[in-house]
C-alpha cells in the first residue's frame, strides 16, 4: 500500500507524491508531517523509547504476511444499536457501513473531505500529533499524518445518542493500512467511539481528539484476535476545562501491538482515564506507551493497565505523568500489573513521574507476579474446579481495568469475551 | 466418617517431618476437638486433609466414608463433603463474596450430578444463612474477605460452611479473634448444622468454644502426633494446667 512504501522512499530521501483527493486543506499538514518524519527518521531498536519493542517490522517496506484468523465468535457488540463504519484492510466499505448521518454529529471521510466544510479539521489534523512530538519523537504518527489513506473526521456538537463503531476487518494477508481519524468534541458534546477488529496485516492508526470545555469523550477498543497482526496506534488528546476523556483498550494476542496514548490536560478540572487489558497466549507482544501532561489546575489522570501473559507472551508498559509548573492540585494515578501464568512470559515496565508543581498527589505502581496460590487453593477447597478458579482470579485481576469502562453494557460484553477466551484455553 | 491412620507428612520443599503418625477416627454425627501447643501440626493436618500443595504424605492414610481422599484434588474432596474453615481465611480481591459462593455451591452440585441452584433460590438461601450469622448484605457484595475484620472473616467461613452443607467440617481456630457474642453466633451456627450425618473436627486453643459446642472426644496433639484422647474434661485440664503435665506423661 501507498503509505508504508512511500515512507521507505521518504527515508531514502525520495519524497513520493502525497495521497491525492483528500482535500487541499490537508496538504500542508501532510507536507509538514512528511518533513517532520524526514527529519526525525524512523524509530529504531536502539532508541530509548523503543527499548522494549522492536519497531523493525513496523517500518519495513512490506508488511509481513498475516494469516487471516478464523474468528468463530460473533461480531462484537452485534446486538447493540450503533452507527457502524466498516473498513476492510483499511478500505472503507460503504455497503457494510451505516448511513453516516446522525443528530449532533457530522461525520466525513478523510478520503473525500475536499468538498466538505472542514475548517475545524484543519485546526486538528496533524496538529495534536505535531504537539505530541515533544519531548519524545513519534515518527510512526508523523508518517501516519503524511500518508493516511482514509479515516473519519468527526465533529460532535451535542450529546450523540449512540456509539460510533469503527469496525476494522482483515481479509487480505498482506494488507498494510493507514487510517487517521480526527474527533472534535465541541462544548457540551458527548460521544462514544468504539473500535474493534484486527484491521489489517499491518495497521498504522492515528486518532486526534480535541475535547472542548465541558465535553466528554469515551473510547472503547478491542484489538483482536488475529495472531499475526501487527499494529502501531497513536491517540493524541487535548482536554479543555471540565472535560472528560476515557479510553479503554482490550488486546487479544497479535504478534506485535504498540499503543501510544498522549494526553494533554490544558483546561482546569479535567479528567483523563486510560486503561487497558491485554491477554497474550503465545509469542505475542503488547506495548502500552502512555504520556500524560498536566498543564492545568485540579486535573485528574488515571492509567490502569493489566496484562495476563502465558506461553512466551511479552507485555510492555511505558507510562509517564508529567506535571508542569503551575499544574497544582494534580491528582495522578498510574498502575501497571502483569499476571504471568508461566515462567516463559515477561513483563517490562517503565513507570515515570516528572513533577514541577509542589501541591500534587501522584502515585504509581508496577507489579508482575504469578497467580496467588493461596487464593487458588481457597477457591478449590470450596469445590471450584482448578480451571474455573484460575479464570475467576484472572478476571478479578483484570477487573480494575475493565471497571474503567463507563458503559455497563459494553463492559459486560468484553468481560464475556475474556471469559470465553480463558475458558477456551482450558478446554 | 473420617478415618486417619498412621499419617506421616513431610514438607515438600525441605526435608522436614511435621506429622509423625496421626491416628484419628471421627464417627458420623460426632464432634471431636483437637488442642495442642503452637506448631504441633494441627493446621498442617487440616491442610493435608483438604489437599493443599506443598506437603508429602510419606505414610498412612485418610479416608472419608471409606474412600481414600489423599489422591483427590481439593475440589473433589469438597464435592465429597469435606470442608475446612481456615485459620487464616484468604482475601481474594476482585471476586465478590456472593459470586464466589454461588460458583462454589453450583460447582459442588454439578460434581455430584445435581441440578444447579437457581439465582432466586440461592439468594433466598444465602440471605437466610447470613442473617443468622449476623452478616449484613453489604459484606456479601464485597470481595471475598477483603477488608473484613478478623471476626468477620471467621463468620464468613461459617457462612460458607452453612451454604455448602458439607458432611465433614474441620474448623481451624474459628474461635480465635472472635468477640464473646460472635463466638456464640458461630457456635450456634455450628450447632444448627449438627446432625447425625455430619461430623466436626474442631481445632481450638480455648475451652470456651467447647462450652458452646460440646465435643464427644478431645484430642491433644503434640509434635505431630495425638498424644492423648479423652472426654471434654481433657479440655478443662489443658485450660487449667497447660500442656506441661500432658507432655511429661508421654515423654
Ligand atoms: N510450609 C511450611 N514451611 C515451613 N514450615 C512449615 C510449613 N508448614 C508448617 N510448617 C511448620 O510445621 C509446624 C506445624 O505447623 P502448624 O501450622 O501445623 O501448627 P499448628 O499446630 O496449627 O500451630 P498453631 O496453634 O500456632 O496454629 C510448625 O513448626 C510450622 O512452622
Ligand atoms: Mg494452626
| CB spacing of B94 vs A388 below 8 angstroms | no
* Dihedral angle sign, alpha carbons of residues A110, A111, A117, A123: positive
Closest ligand (CA of B18): 1
What residue owns the CA closest to ligand 1's atom 16?
B41
Phi, psi at residue A305, to the nearest 5°? Answer: -125, 125
Grid cell 481456615 — which residue? B86
Rounded CA-CA distance A421/A427 in Å is 10
pLDDT value of position B198? 95
Question: Mean pLDDT in chain A?
Answer: 92
pLDDT value of position A117? 61
A370 near B CB under 8 A: no
A374 near B CB under 8 A: yes
* Residue of chain A minimizing CA distance to B91: A375
A27-33 long-range CB contacts below 8 Å, 24 or more apart?
Answer: A29/A122, A29/A125, A29/A126, A29/A127, A29/A145, A30/A126, A30/A145, A30/A146, A30/A147, A31/A146, A32/A126, A32/A130, A33/A126, A33/A129, A33/A130, A33/A142, A33/A143, A33/A144, A33/A145, A33/A146
Residues of B in contact with A335 (CB under 8 A): none
Which structural domain, as residue segments, surrounds residue B207?
2-250
What residue owns the CA closest to ligand 1's atom 24?
B38
Instruction: Show the beta-strand stretches assigned E in A253-378.
Output: 256-265, 271-281, 285-294, 300-310, 314-323, 331-340, 346-355, 361-369
Percent of chain A beyond pLDDT 90?
88
**Facing A383 at nearest CB: one of B52, B90, B104:** B104
pLDDT value of position A19? 54
pLDDT value of position A116? 61
Angular region, B177: left φ>0, alpha ψ -120 to 50, beta rest: left
CB count within 10 Å of CB A9 equals: 13
Task: Using an 8 Å CB-CB cutoff, list residues of chain B that contact chain A.
Answer: 50-53, 73-75, 77-79, 83-84, 86, 89-95, 99-101, 103-105, 107-108, 111, 143-144, 160, 164
**Tens-place pLDDT, residues A360-399:** 999 999 999 999 999 999 999 999 999 999 999 999 999 9
Rounded CA-CA distance B231/B216 in Å is 6
Per-residue pLDDT of chain B (251 residues; tens, 9 = 90+): 999 999 999 999 998 999 999 999 999 999 999 999 999 999 999 999 999 999 999 999 999 999 999 999 999 999 999 999 999 999 999 999 999 999 999 999 999 899 999 999 999 999 998 988 888 888 899 999 999 998 899 999 999 999 999 999 999 999 988 888 889 888 988 999 999 999 999 999 998 899 999 999 999 999 999 999 999 999 999 988 889 888 888 77
Task: Give yes or no for residue B52 CB within 6 A of ligand 1.
Answer: no
> Ligand 1: distance of its center to the CA of B146 in Å?
24
Number of compact structural domains in chain B: 1
| CB spacing of B78 vs A373 below 8 angstroms | no
Pocket test for ligand 1, best of B39, B48, B170 (most atoms within 8 A of CB): B39
Percent of chain A beyond pLDDT 70?
93
What CATH number has the domain bearing residue B217? 3.40.50.300
Quick check: A310 pLDDT over 60? yes
> A with B: how many residue pairs have Cβ under 8 Å apart?
81
Rounded CA-CA distance B131/A251 in Å is 43
CB distance A134 to A161 below 8 Å: no
Strand order in the sheet with A176-185: A105-109, A152-156, A176-185, A202-211, A230-239, A256-265, A285-294, A314-323, A346-355
**Tens-place pLDDT, residues A5-27:** 444 444 333 344 555 445 567 88
A375 near B CB under 8 A: yes
CB distance A375 to A393 below 8 Å: yes
ipTM of the complex: 0.96
A384 near B CB under 8 A: yes
| CB spacing of B51 vs A386 below 8 angstroms | no
- Looking at CA atoms only, how far is residue A321 from chain B in angstroms? 27
Q: Which residues pair with A111 in a beta bridge?
A: none
Amino acid at each position: 500500500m501507498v503509505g508504508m512504501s512511500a515512507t521507505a522512499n521518504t527515508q531514502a530521501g525520495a519524497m513520493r507524491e502525497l495521497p491525492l483527493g483528500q482535500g487541499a486543506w490537508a496538504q500542508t499538514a501532510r507536507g509538514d508531517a512528511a518533513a517532520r518524519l524526514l527529519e526525525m527518521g524512523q524509530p529504531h531498536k536502539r532508541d530509548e523509547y523503543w527499548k522494549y519493542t522492536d519497531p523493525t517490522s513496523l517500518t519495513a517496506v512490506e508488511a509481513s504476511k498475516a494469516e487471516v484468523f478464523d474468528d468463530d465468535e460473533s461480531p462484537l457488540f452485534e446486538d447493540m444499536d450503533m452507527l457502524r463504519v466498516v473498513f476492510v484492510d483499511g478500505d472503507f466499505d460503504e455497503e457494510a457501513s451505516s448511513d453516516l448521518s446522525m443528530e449532533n454529529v457530522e461525520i466525513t471521510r478523510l478520503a473525500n473531505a475536499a468538498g466538505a466544510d472542514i475548517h475545524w479539521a484543519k485546526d486538528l489534523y496533524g496538529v495534536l500529533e505535531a504537539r505530541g512530538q515533544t519531548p519524545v519523537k513519534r515518527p510512526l504518527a508523523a508518517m501516519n499524518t503524511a500518508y493516511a489513506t482514509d479515516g473519519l473526521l468527526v465533529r460532535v456538537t451535542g450529546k450523540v445518542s449512540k456509539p460510533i463503531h469503527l469496525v476494522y476487518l482483515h481479509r487480505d494477508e498482506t494488507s498494510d493500512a493507514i487510517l487517521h481519524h480526527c474527533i472534535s468534541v465541541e462544548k457540551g458534546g458527548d460521544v462514544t467511539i468504539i473500535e474493534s477488529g484486527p484491521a489489517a496485516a499491518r495497521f498504522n492508526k492515528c486518532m486526534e481528539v480535541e475535547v472542548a470545555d465541558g465535553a466528554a469523550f469515551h473510547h472503547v477498543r478491542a484489538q483482536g484476535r488475529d495472531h499475526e497482526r501487527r499494529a502501531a496506534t497513536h491517540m493524541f488528546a487535548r482536554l479543555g476545562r471540565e472535560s472528560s476523556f476515557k479510553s479503554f483498550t482490550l488486546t487479544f494476542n497479535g504478534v506485535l501491538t504498540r499503543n501510544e496514548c498522549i494526553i494533554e490536560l490544558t483546561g482546569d478540572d479535567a479528567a483523563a482515564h486510560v486503561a487497558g487489558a491485554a491477554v497474550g497466549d503465545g509469542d505475542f507482544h503488547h506495548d502500552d506507551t502512555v504520556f500524560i501532561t498536566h498543564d492545568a489546575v485540579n486535573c485528574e489522570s488515571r492509567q490502569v493497565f493489566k496484562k495476563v501473559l502465558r506461553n512466551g507472551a511479552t507485555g510492555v508498559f511505558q507510562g509517564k505523568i508529567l506535571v508542569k509548573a503551575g499544574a497544582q492540585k494534580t491528582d495522578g494515578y498510574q498502575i501497571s500489573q502483569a499476571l504471568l501464568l508461566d515462567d516463559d512470559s515477561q513483563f517490562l515496565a517503565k513507570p515515570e513521574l516528572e513533577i514541577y508543581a509542589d501541591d500534587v498527589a501522584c502515585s504509581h505502581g508496577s507489579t508482575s507476579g504469578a497467580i496467588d496460590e493461596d487464593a487458588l487453593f481457597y477457591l478449590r477447597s470450596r469445590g471450584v474446579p482448578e480451571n474455573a478458579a484460575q479464570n475467576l482470579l484472572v478476571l478479578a485481576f483484570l477487573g480494575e481495568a475493565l471497571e474503567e469502562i463507563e458503559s455497563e453494557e459494553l463492559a459486560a460484553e468484553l468481560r464475556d469475551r475474556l471469559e470465553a477466551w480463558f475458558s477456551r484455553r482450558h478446554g | 466418617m473420617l478415618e486417619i491412620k498412621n499419617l506421616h507428612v513431610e514438607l515438600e520443599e525441605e526435608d522436614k517431618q511435621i506429622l509423625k503418625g496421626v491416628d484419628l477416627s471421627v464417627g458420623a454425627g460426632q464432634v471431636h476437638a483437637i488442642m495442642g501447643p503452637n506448631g504441633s501440626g494441627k493446621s498442617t493436618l487440616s491442610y493435608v486433609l483438604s489437599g493443599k500443595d506443598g506437603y508429602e504424605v510419606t505414610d498412612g492414610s485418610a479416608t472419608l466414608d471409606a474412600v481414600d481422599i489423599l489422591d483427590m484434588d481439593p475440589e473433589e474432596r469438597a464435592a465429597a463433603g469435606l470442608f475446612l474453615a481456615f485459620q487464616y481465611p484468604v482475601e481474594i480481591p476482585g471476586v465478590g463474596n456472593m459470586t464466589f459462593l454461588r460458583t462454589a455451591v453450583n460447582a459442588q452440585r454439578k460434581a455430584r450430578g445435581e441440578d444447579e441452584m437457581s439465582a432466586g433460590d440461592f439468594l433466598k438461601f444465602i440471605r437466610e444463612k447470613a442473617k443468622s450469622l449476623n452478616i449484613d448484605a453489604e459484606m456479601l457484595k464485597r470481595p471475598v474477605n477483603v477488608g473484613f475484620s478478623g471476626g468477620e472473616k471467621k463468620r464468613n467461613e461459617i457462612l460458607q460452611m452453612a451454604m455448602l452443607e458439607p458432611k465433614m467440617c474441620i474448623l481451624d481456630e474459628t474461635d480465635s479473634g472472635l468477640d464473646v457474642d460472635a463466638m456464640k453466633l458461630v457456635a450456634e451456627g455450628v450447632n444448627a448444622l449438627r446432625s447425625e450425618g455430619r461430623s466436626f473436627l474442631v481445632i481450638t486453643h480455648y475451652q470456651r468454644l467447647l462450652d458452646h459446642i460440646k465435643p464427644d472426644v478431645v484430642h491433644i496433639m503434640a509434635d505431630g502426633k495425638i498424644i492423648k484422647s479423652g472426654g471434654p474434661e481433657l479440655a478443662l485440664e489443658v485450660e487449667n494446667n497447660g500442656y506441661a503435665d500432658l507432655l511429661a506423661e508421654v515423654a
